[in-house]
Amino acid sequence: MTATAGDGSTDRGPDGAVQRLWDEVVGQPEATSALRMAATDPVHAYLLVGPEGSGKRAAALAFAAEVIAAGSAGQSADEVAARIADGTHPSVRVVEREGPRINAATAREVVRSASMAPPSGHLQVFVLDEFHLVDDAAPIMLKAIEEPSASTMFVALAEEVTEPLVTIA
């Protein structure tokens, strides 16, 4: 299903806002192709691994826009993508560490939020930035990531697969 703008043009096409988010993922054609294919029938969790600056976060946000726009009845894909790009879409939450690691308090808040209905639309997406720094908080998040509600998706971003991530990955 392709969303259309009010003038009948597609907002996912080569000039659409979702496409512009994908265009921010530079030098990762295989990864973007795989994620775009996955967006047609997404699963509950993804782990994107690569060095800092490799485009993981941009890919996660473009993927979230693609998935949310596909099921969005009340907004065009352009509106969804624009709100995700500027960090104001209520159903896309970027979770960042506080201090040197992702701590237990942050993990508990993610679990609590993930158990709730999406604030807008059919799906909520949690982008877990620097997830390789989860360490002791990994067990807190494990069940939420492995068995989320049908309306919750996780996209974890990591520079490497550390020991705590082996169980989750």
Contact between 110 and 97 under an 8 Å Cβ cutoff? The reply is no
Contact between 94 and 127 under an 8 Å Cβ cutoff? The reply is yes
| In-domain check, residue 10 | no
Compute CA distances 105 → 25, 147, 161, whole Å.
31, 20, 22
| In-domain check, residue 139 | yes
Domain count, the chain: 1
Q: Which residue has the tokens 């509106």?
A: 79
Q: What is the CATH number of the domain that holds 119?
A: 3.40.50.300
Q: What pLDDT tens digit does each residue of the chain (169 aa) get?
A: 223 333 333 455 545 888 999 999 999 999 999 999 999 999 999 999 999 999 999 999 999 999 999 877 677 888 999 999 999 999 999 999 988 999 999 999 999 999 999 998 899 999 999 999 987 888 999 989 999 999 999 999 999 988 777 777 6
